[in-house]
Amino acid sequence: MRSEQKSVLIRINVVLLILIGFLLFLGIKQFDLEHKLHAQSLSESIPNHKVVILNFDDGRKTQFTQAKPILDKYGFKATFYVVCNYLGNKPGYMNWSEVKQLSAEGYDIESHTMNHRNLSDSSKKSLEFQIGESKACLQEHGIRATSFAYPFDQGWDNKTVVKVVSKYYDLARTASSPVTFLHCDGWIHKSHQTDCSTFTKTGNLNYANQYSIRGWSHDLSRKVNSFDDPALYNRFVEVVNSQTKYNKNGTIMAIPIIIYHQAGDQEIDYSTNLDLFNKEMKYLHDGNFTVLTMADLGYDKKSNYLYIK
């Protein structure tokens, strides 16, 4: 009897060991699968490691009536940074129905203040209104803004302004660079910053952070350089391809953010005519660029790095 019991126990133990081994194997495979998914190379979803983010500032009506059809033709989405009090109130600007249609169609609607004020010259009360009320204004119309754009490329280097922006938004965009780096050490030519957080341990504002994302102003480039259309197109091509020396081995480190204001408007020196805009969008389409919006950017609070969601 004891011999039979011992034999049964041995068989049970063998079965248990096999079962445990099988479960461990499944666990390892599951971990391996999750690891591969987490570490999936961006090259599988972003061909040629070429990414562009399109922005339209101010909320002008021609962005809806003239630029949007071209974006739709190529299947691109863009971020529209709108000035809340301009919508439906100021001639030449979109109304709320148009903004809501953009949002419903998958375009990204974000905040560009209440009245397009220069924030560096504003009081704290005015900052709360221009920055915080703008978020509330969009929310009242069913739009949840998570990023902010500084008017006139001013305020991103002002600690008081940034503190107010950080109360309401996850990210903020300014201008003055062909590319933005996802990691702050990409700005080594401008700063020796190694801490990518918004403020240093002593409370000073860091040069590169989640509230100083930089873009390239397409229309301003025309104005300051007196570019005609062929010259501006060539500069556009240079800008969108400037990322290639940084994005390698399946890793995206730098992204051009192209900022438009007027599309097809009459103001020649600060606008993009439709033929040029169509040519630029065709270049992105034919070049197999991945076109994203600002909503596709995330922020890792542990590393203080930006990333593509």
pLDDT digits (tens, 9 = 90+) for 55-79: 999 999 999 999 999 999 999 999 9
Residues 176 and 84 occupy one common structural domain: yes
The verdict on 172 and 268 lying in the same domain is: yes
Q: What is the number of domains present in the chain?
A: 2
Average pLDDT, the chain: 88
Shared-domain flag, residues 99 and 2: no
Stretch 179-206: mean pLDDT: 94
Q: What does the pLDDT look like over 84-98, one tens digit per residue?
A: 999 999 999 999 999
125-139, 185-199, 290-304: which range is least confident on average? 185-199
Query: DSSP letters along 1-57, please?
Result: -HHHHHHHHHHHHHHHHHHHHHHHHHHHHHHHHHHHHHT--GGGTSGGG-EEEEEEE
The pLDDT confidence band at residue 40, using thresholds 50, 70 and 90, is: very low
Tell me the C-alpha distance between 129 and 126, whole Å: 5
Give mean pLDDT, residues 170-175: 98
Rounded-to-integer distance, Cα 135 and Cα 127, Å = 12
Q: Are residues 122 and 197 in the same domain?
A: yes
pLDDT score, position 282: 98
Q: Is there a single domain that holds both residue 226 and residue 119?
A: yes
The CATH code of the domain that includes 206 is 3.20.20.370
Shared domain for 158 and 227, answered yes or no, is: yes
Same domain, 11 and 128: no
Tell me: pLDDT of 293 over 60: yes
Angle between helices 229-241 and 274-286 (to 10 degrees): 30
Q: What mean pLDDT is predicted for residues 162-191?
A: 96
Dmax (CA) of the chain: 102
pLDDT at 33 over 50: no
* Buried-exposed string 10-44: b where 16+ CB fall within 10 A, e elsewhere: eeeeeeeeeeeeeeeeeeeeeeeeeeeeeeeebee
| Nearest to 298, CA basis, from 191, 146, 137 | 146
Q: 270 and 213: one domain?
A: yes
- pTM of the predicted protein model: 0.85
pLDDT at position 11: 58
Query: Would you say residue 110 has pLDDT above 50?
Result: yes
pLDDT in tens, 226-275: 999 999 999 999 999 999 999 988 899 999 999 999 888 877 678 899 99
Range of the structural domain that residue 1 is part of: 1-39
Residues 32 and 68 reside in one and the same domain: no
Three-class secondary structure of residue 272 per DSSP:
strand
